[in-house]
Structure 1
Amino acid sequence: MYKIAVMGDVASVLGFKALGLDVYPVAGPEEGHETLHRLARENYAIIYMTEQLAAKLTTDIARYKDALTPAIILIPGKEGPLGIGMANIKTAVERAVGADIL
């Protein structure tokens, strides 16, 4: 059975635990790198990650870009949105549709 995880700083991800998601607070990019690859090996189908952490793990995230699992979805952290998640959605829509419809 596939699972869902949330990665990021403690303040941004702790609330997701109340929803029943597996929460992985990470302190920095080194810990984020190790956690991301471990979750990918452990049958996590969806990994929500704060944009602040994702900005530091671009090469790691790119490794899973075309893979079926895990789907890495960026969410705003406690500092607010950086626009990375929306830019990724826009790029994915352009690839799927062939034009910018957003």
Structure 2
Amino acid sequence: MICMYKIGVVGERDAVIAFLALGLQVRAVETPEEAMRAVDTMAREGNGVIFVTETTAKEIEETIERYKNQMLPAIILIPGSQGSLGIGLAKIKDNVEKAVGVDILSKKEG
């Protein structure tokens, strides 16, 4: 039996609207309350991955944190319409360092 998870995207309209063309479930939000509801609804609806723009994630940190230690959904931060804030990359770096035991993603000068 193959289990297929849906993929959702939450964030400001300019950043998420293009994901509709890929067939993803998209929620354009304007307020932190809308964003929290959208993430929670997508999680309940069985989305295995939810992409959230960094700008939006910054406003709903408690909601993002609540899903951090759960297997599903995976919350992945992506750059918003204003570009990257570096939050998503920092979280990936922290997770890799936790898994490997050493920071392997920083550029070493030498």
* TM-score, normalising length: structure 1: 0.97
Give percent identity, aligned residues only.
51
Which residue number in structure 2 is paired with residue 92 of structure 1? 95
Q: Which has more radius of gyration? A: 2
Structural RMSD (CA): 0.7
Question: 2:108 is matched with which residue?
Answer: none
Corresponding residue for residue 34 of structure 1: 37
Q: Identify the residue that residue 49 of structure 2 maps to in structure 1.
A: 46
CA distance in 2 between partners of 1:93 and 1:13 (Å): 26
CA distance in 1, matches of 2:56, 2:81: 11
Q: Gaps spanning 5+ residues in structure 1: where? A: none
Structure 2: runs of 5+ lacking an equivalent = 106-110
2:25 to 22, 25, 49: 22
* Alpha-carbon separation, structure 2, partners of 1:42 and 1:95: 30
How far apart, in 2, do the equivalents of 1:86 and 1:65 lie? 15
Aligned length, in residue pairs: 102
Task: Give me the TM-score of the superposition, normalised by structure 2.
Answer: 0.90
